[in-house]
Amino acid sequence: MSASRALPLRAVFRVWRELALPDDFEDSVVAGHPHLFRLALNPAEPNTHILHLIADPAAEDFTLAVEKTRPDRYAFKLQFPPGFRLTKEYRKKVKEWQQLPYGGPYEVVNPRAGGSKRVSKLARRKMEKRAVGIAHEFLSLTVEKMVEVEKFSQFRKWFGIEVNVRDVFLDHPGIFYLSAKGKRHTVFLREAYDRGKLVEPNEVSEARAKLVEFMLLRRRGLGNANSSATSDAKESGDDFVEHEDCLLDIPET
């Protein structure tokens, strides 16, 4: 999704857990697959490494996540929260936006290709829709179809997103759910959840759910606080408890 097919390694480190990468992914994934990836120092920032994709992404056979649920060409699946007021004017705007053509998340699109610093209203709407497509694909690649907004923002420049990502999430409540519960803002892919649970859980998400359940029991005094297992779980599981609070905050769709 990066126009340059490159990303700062530090940004990937920020989301390694969301992407279910192994702890040693820099060695086991990056260095272990030299035909796919290459690390190089960033000349603009000393001691900063850039991860380059050297394989041709066009040669890979994969399907966009949105294509699995897309109701129509260019459209996204919409699931508005209960009680969301859909006025006639709002429905019209949504319908027009759904039909608006845009470049996919893996297509390199430059709305300023003509050299002008000014961007037309139509071009800006296409930029926004492409940002939605990138965010949708990115969230679909994560284990729990969610990520902290601040972490996703680390990729904004590299993905060529020229609009405010937080506004994108707020302006499309039928696609994204933005949780402000806890210390961080977290965005969820709404279609991936039903009643606060993943529609299609995986082994990693189920293991994390069990860990969070164990941590919550311990906090309520139902676990054995003196056991070494509990101590180990605390060290590795505290980070997930706040995430569980966000999940409980997701309204039914």
Nearest CA-CA partner of 42 in 15, 1, 12, 10: 10
Among 80-84, 114-118, 137-141, 207-211, name the most confident range. Answer: 137-141
> What pLDDT was estimated at residue 49?
94
DSSP string, 131-152: HHHHHHHHHHHSTTSEEEHHHH
Average pLDDT over all residues of the chain: 85
Angle between helix 203-219 and helix 228-248 axes, rounded to 10 deg: 110
pLDDT higher than threshold 80 for residue 117: no
- Give pLDDT tens digits for 143-181: 999 999 999 999 999 999 999 999 999 999 999 999 987
Nearest alpha-carbon partner for 153 in 129, 184, 113, 125 = 184
Half-sphere exposure of 168 (CA within 13 A, CB side): 25
The reported pTM is 0.84
Residue 234, pLDDT score: 47
- Rounded Cα distance between 69 and 81, Å, is 18
Sheet holding 176-179, edge to edge: 146-148, 186-189, 176-179
What is the per-residue pLDDT for 59?
64
Q: What are the backbone dihedrals phi and psi of residue 90, each rounded to the nearest 5 degrees, phi first? A: -65, -40
* Closest of 210, 227, 245, 195 to residue 81, by C-alpha: 195
Phi and psi based region of residue 223 (left: phi greater than 0; alpha: psi -120 to 50; beta: remaining): beta
Q: Which residue has the higher pLDDT, 234 or 28?
A: 28
The amino acid sitting at 41 is L
Sorting pLDDT into bands at 50, 70 and 90, what band is 191? very high
Percent of the chain with pLDDT over 70: 81
pLDDT-based confidence at residue 107 (cuts at 50, 70, 90): confident
* Nearest-angstrom CA–CA distance, 132 and 126: 10
| pLDDT tens, position by position, 197-246 | 899 999 998 888 888 888 888 777 765 545 444 444 444 445 555 555 56
